[in-house]
């Protein structure tokens, strides 16, 4: 049941914060700020230097907070996926589908979320056991794509990433999103080390999500 439980926790979070950073310290502070603001699903990208160590640090730091779920993003191949998982990642996100990453995630009972943009990519990902489809780039696919994908694949869980913001988040959910991914729009102030602003933005995202779910 681990995989199903993790997927359920991920979807119930509503918003997945996509965390990038120029160094480990910046990434960790950004994650702390986002979690303080109420966004508890974290996709720590492998573009962060020493991403595996950051995931390990965050996993240990939040091990007693059952709302927080730490995952890895921008995972391109199975070596990075395994490195992320053994350091505590509870879900894996990729910008595109990779069958070897899918197999590895199935082996470790970890949800895999590959980026897909066409019905063929989605069908392939589902065939290899992908649990949550990342429609990416969301601003290229558009909200209409989610409705279209739900036609031949009515039961898929979809996470649009790229192009999600406070102003349009409700429309993404209305289109059929199960959860949304938020990146630079959520964390942009971290570049200026203004983590209080990141926390405030996270609170706005959380409040918006809760209002949508009422």
214: pLDDT strictly greater than 90: no
The answer to whether residue 43 is catalytic is yes
pLDDT above 70 covers a percentage of the chain that reads 100
CA-based radius of gyration for the chain = 16
209: pLDDT strictly greater than 70: yes
* pLDDT for 112: 98
Q: Number of helices (H) and strands (E), helices first, in the chain?
A: 11, 8
137 preceded by a cis bond (ω within 30 of 0): yes
The answer to whether residue 77 is catalytic is no
- Which of 29, 43, 90, 208 is labelled catalytic? 43
Residues 80-91: what's their mean pLDDT?
98
**CATH architecture of the domain formed by 2-213:** Alpha-Beta Barrel (3.20)
Distance CA 160, CA 180 (A): 5
**Which of 73, 68, 108 has the alpha carbon at shortest distance from 93?**
73
Residue 51: strand, helix, or coil = helix
Q: Scan for tokens 């921008």, then name that residue.
A: 74
Tens digits of residue pLDDT in 24-40: 999 999 999 999 999 99
Predicted TM-score of the model (pTM): 0.97
Structure tokens at 163: 């192009």
> How much helix, strand and coil, in percent to the nearest 5, is found in the chain?
50, 15, 35
Structure tokens at 76: 């391109």
Residue 135: strand, helix, or coil = strand
Tens digits of residue pLDDT in 163-187: 999 999 999 999 999 999 999 999 9
Give one DSSP letter per residue of 188-210, joined into a string. Answer: GGGGGT-HHHHHHHHHHHHHHHH
- Which of 121, 134, 200, 208 is labelled catalytic? 134
């Amino acid at each position: 049941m681990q995989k199903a439980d993790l997927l359920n926790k991920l979807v119930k979070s509503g918003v997945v914060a996509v965390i990038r950073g120029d160094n480990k310290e910046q990434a960790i502070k950004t994650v702390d700020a986002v979690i303080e603001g109420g966004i508890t699903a974290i996709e720590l990208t492998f573009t962060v230097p020493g991403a595996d160590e950051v995931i390990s640090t965050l996993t240990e730091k939040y091990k007693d907070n059952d709302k927080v779920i730490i995952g890895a993003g921008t995972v391109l191949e199975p070596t990075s996926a395994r490195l992320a998982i053994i350091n505590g990642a509870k879900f894996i996100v990729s910008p595109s589908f990779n069958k070897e990453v899918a197999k590895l995630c199935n082996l470790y009972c970890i949800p895999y979320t590959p980026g897909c943009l066409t019905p063929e990519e989605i069908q392939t990902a589902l065939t290899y056991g992908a649990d949550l489809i990342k429609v990416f780039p969301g601003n290229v696919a558009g909200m209409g794509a989610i409705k279209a994908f739900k036609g031949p694949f009515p039961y898929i869980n979809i996470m649009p990433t790229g192009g999600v913001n406070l102003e349009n988040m409700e429309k993404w959910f209305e289109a059929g999103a199960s959860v949304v991914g938020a990146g630079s729009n959520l964390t942009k102030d971290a570049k200026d080390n203004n983590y209080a602003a990141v926390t405030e933005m996270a609170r706005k995202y959380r409040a918006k999500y809760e209002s949508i779910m009422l």
